[in-house]
């Protein structure tokens, strides 16, 4: 169990395989259990059970997470077009309140909720741009299965500078919608273009919707440009409280 985050663990399936798993795999809408829960036939009456046998710890009680599934990115409500790119803060402060774990869980939930004709790509950022392995992928179960270990393996370390990741996102992936998430203040040093000005430069033809997310336990601790960035780029801004309830 060393180095595992909250809501992560090892899961063994009936076919004998074993892998790293988290809460997004489980329950009535989980990635692993959804098909089973929606199955019909046989001698069992009522919804198929999705109870998982566990060991070593108890599941989180209802209401212990500050987020409802799908709350962070809201892709169905705020997505435009077919190509979705997520630019996600993985700086050192994302360790606090378990933000990095919640962001990973919400990212896999968002991808799982997308129609299979949609495409996705992920950039983590700190002081550098950290692109997803491989190219743009269709939002299928198989793509998520392949990508999920990379999503879950990213540590929270470094500073908060999304500029290179944003340039890569716009110039290399041709997105229809971008989600920019941070839990802090964007690094600003002499000679650095402000993040809002950079996005307007990259999105000069207004082809891309940019949604922004402030993810912290204090609204005043996230960058003040997030709201204006969304407003200027056909997007929505939301502040999501990361504090445990």
- pLDDT one-digit tens code per residue, 182-236: 999 999 999 999 999 999 999 999 999 999 999 999 999 999 999 999 999 999 9
Indicate the DSSP class of residue 82: S
Maximum CA extent, the chain? 70
Return the number of other C-beta atoms located less than 10 Å from residue 29's C-beta: 16
More confident residue, 172 or 244: 172
Cα 201 from Cα 203, distance rounded (Å): 5
Cα 68 from Cα 191, distance rounded (Å): 40
- Indicate the range of 25-39, 85-99, 131-145, 184-198 predicted with least confidence: 25-39
Query: Domain spans of the chain?
Result: 1-60, 65-241
Tens of pLDDT, residue by residue over 78-101, are 999 999 999 999 999 999 999 999
Nearest to 67 by CA among 23, 5, 123: 23
pTM for the model stands at 0.75
Cα 52 from Cα 148, distance rounded (Å): 20
**C-beta of residue 186 within 8 angstroms of C-beta of residue 192:** no
Which residue's entry shows tokens 């998430």? 181
In order of 156, 170, 187, the CA distances from 192 in angstroms are 23, 18, 9
Report domain 65-241's class. Answer: alpha beta
- Indicate the range of 9-23, 81-95, 157-171, 202-216 predicted with least confidence: 9-23
Locate 183 and state its tokens. Answer: 């839990």
Helix axes 99-113, 141-153, angle to 10 degrees: 170
Cα 79 from Cα 91, distance rounded (Å): 25
**Cα angle at 195 between 191 and 199, to 5 degrees?**
120
Cα 163 from Cα 158, distance rounded (Å): 14
Locate 59 and state its tokens. Answer: 């599941």
Cα 76 from Cα 62, distance rounded (Å): 24
Cα 206 from Cα 204, distance rounded (Å): 6
Strand 18-22 to 8-12 pairing: antiparallel
């Amino acid at each position: 169990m060393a180095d595992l985050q909250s809501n992560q663990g090892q899961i063994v399936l009936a076919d004998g395989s074993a892998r790293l798993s988290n809460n997004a795999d489980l329950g009535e809408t989980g990635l692993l259990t959804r098909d089973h829960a929606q199955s019909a036939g046989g001698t069992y009456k009522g919804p198929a059970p999705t109870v998982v046998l566990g060991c070593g710890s108890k599941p989180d009680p209802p209401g212990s997470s500050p987020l409802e599934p799908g709350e962070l990115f809201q892709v169905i409500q705020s997505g435009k077009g077919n190509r979705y790119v997520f630019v996600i803060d993985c700086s050192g402060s994302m360790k606090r309140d378990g933000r990095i774990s919640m962001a990973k869980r919400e990212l896999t939930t968002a991808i799982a909720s997308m129609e299979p004709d949609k495409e996705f790509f992920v950039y983590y950022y700190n002081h550098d741009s950290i692109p997803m392995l491989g190219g743009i992928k269709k939002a299928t179960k198989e793509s998520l299965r392949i990508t999920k270990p990379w999503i879950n393996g990213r540590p929270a370390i470094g500073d908060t500078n999304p500029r290179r990741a944003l340039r890569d996102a716009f110039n290399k992936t041709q997105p229809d919608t971008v989600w920019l998430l941070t839990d802090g203040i964007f690094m600003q040093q002499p000679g650095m273009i402000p993040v809002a000005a950079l996005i307007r430069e990259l999105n000069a033809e207004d082809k891309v919707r940019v949604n922004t997310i402030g993810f912290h336990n204090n609204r005043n601790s996230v960058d003040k440009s997030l709201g204006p960035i969304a407003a200027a780029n056909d997007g929505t801004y939301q502040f999501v409280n990361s504090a445990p309830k």
